[in-house]
Structure 1
Amino acid sequence: MAKSSKLVTARKGRVLLVRRRRDRLWMFPGGRRRAGESERSCLRREIEEELPELKLGRLKLWKEVKGKNRRSGRQMSDAIFLVAKASGRLKIGDKKEIDRAVWRKPPGIRLTPTSRYIRDKLFPS
């Protein structure tokens, strides 16, 4: 089972990204799974915490990504979900963790390692 879950959704050629407050890196929304929680439940809970006004359609598991961050040495284990429909305001819920949410094109932005992997696989230049 993956340690965390990420959401990928696109609208008009733009993807939904959130910016972490601590290092100002952008990432696809999501977070760490709690004990006894499924990847899908984790993602729904994290989206509710980070972006409480965002409404999601049906989640589809795209891929589980396992690897090692070359910089930190940290093991990555993420379940990546795709959703065709997302609507609602991008109001930040957890302001201690996230300071911005935007719809934008993925190239040319500083992303976390997992989010770079997702961008490169799903949105090649």
Structure 2
Amino acid sequence: MAKSSKLVAVKRGKVLLVRRRSDRLWMFPGGRKRSRETEKDCLRREIKEELPNLKLGRVRLWKEVKSKNRRSGRKMSDAIFVTRKASGRLTIGDKNEIDRAIWRKPRGIRLTPTSRYVRDQLFPKK
């Protein structure tokens, strides 16, 4: 079982990203799983906390990522979910953790290591 869940929402060639307040790095929204919580329940809770006005269509598991980050040495254990339907205002719910949310192309932006890995897998350079 993965330790956290992330959402890759894609709309018109752009992805949904949120910026962490602590280090100002961008990432796919999501977060750590609580005990007895499924990966999908974790994702729903985290999205509701971070982006309370976001409405999601069908969400499907793309992949469970269990790997070691080559740069930091940190272990990744994430359930990555994908949706092609997302609507609503990008209002920030948890302002202590997240300070901004945007739709943009996935390249040319400073991402967290996990989000960089997911981006490179789903949106390889052409």
Question: TM-score over 0.5 for the alignment?
Answer: yes
Structure 1: give runs of 5+ residues left out of the alignment: none
Partner of 1:20: 20
Alignment of 1:40-59 (within 5 A): 40-59=40-59
CA distance in 1, matches of 2:120, 2:70: 16
The alpha-carbon deviation at position 69 of structure 1 amounts to 2.4
Structure 2: give runs of 5+ residues left out of the alignment: none
The alpha-carbon deviation at position 58 of structure 1 amounts to 1.3
Partner of 1:7: 7
Partner of 1:64: 64
CA distance in 1, matches of 2:18, 2:105: 13
Residue 109 of structure 1 aligns with an amino acid whose one-letter code is I
Partner of 2:82: 82
| 2:38 matches 1:35 | no
CA distance in 2, matches of 1:75, 1:31: 15
Q: Percent identity?
A: 78
The alpha-carbon deviation at position 72 of structure 1 amounts to 3.3
The alpha-carbon deviation at position 120 of structure 1 amounts to 0.5
Partner of 1:105: 105
CA distance in 1, matches of 2:96, 2:74: 23
Residue 10 of structure 2 aligns with an amino acid whose one-letter code is A
The alpha-carbon deviation at position 122 of structure 1 amounts to 0.8
The alpha-carbon deviation at position 102 of structure 1 amounts to 0.1
Residue aligned with 2:106, SS: coil
CA distance in 2, matches of 1:68, 1:5: 17
Residue 117 of structure 2 aligns with an amino acid whose one-letter code is Y
Residue 25 of structure 2 aligns with an amino acid whose one-letter code is L
CA distance in 1, matches of 2:103, 2:37: 28
How many residue pairs match? The answer is 125
RMSD of aligned alpha carbons = 0.8
